[in-house]
C-alpha cells in the first residue's frame, strides 16, 4: 500500500493510505481485488492520544460469479501512555 503522514503542528497528524490487495483462489483460480483508501487523524496531548480513521473497502471478484461490493468503516480510539521514570 501507499501512504503519507502530514503533521499540523506538534499535536495533530493526518495520514492518508491506499491499500491494494490481490488474491487468487486455489480451487477455481478466481481473482479478488480489494482497494482500501482511508484517512486517519491522530491528536496527541501530553500522555493522551486520540485516533479517528474512516475509509472505504471496494471488493471486486472475477470469475463465473462476478461480484462487486463496497463497505465503509470508521473507528475511533483513545490511548494513554503510562511510563515509569527510571533512575
pLDDT above 90 coverage of the chain, percent: 64
- Report the run of H or E that residue 4 belongs to, with start and end: strand 2-8
Give me 21's grid cell.
Answer: 490487495
Q: What is the mean pLDDT of residues 10-34?
A: 88
Q: Is the dihedral of CA 23, 28, 29, 34 positive or negative?
A: negative
Band of pLDDT at residue 85, cut at 50, 70 and 90: low
Locate 18 and state its grid cell. Answer: 491506499
When pLDDT is averaged across residues 17-32 and rounded to a whole number, the result is: 85
Amino acid at each position: 500500500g501507499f501512504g503519507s503522514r502530514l503533521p499540523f503542528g506538534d499535536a495533530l497528524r493526518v495520514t492518508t493510505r491506499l491499500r491494494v490487495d490481490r488474491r487468487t483462489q486455489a480451487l477455481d483460480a478466481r481473482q479478488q481485488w480489494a482497494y482500501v483508501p482511508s484517512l486517519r487523524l491522530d491528536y496527541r496531548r501530553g500522555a493522551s492520544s486520540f485516533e479517528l480513521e474512516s475509509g472505504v473497502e471496494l471488493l471486486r471478484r472475477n470469475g463465473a460469479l462476478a461480484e462487486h461490493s463496497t463497505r465503509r468503516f470508521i473507528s475511533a480510539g483513545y490511548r494513554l501512555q503510562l511510563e515509569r521514570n527510571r533512575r
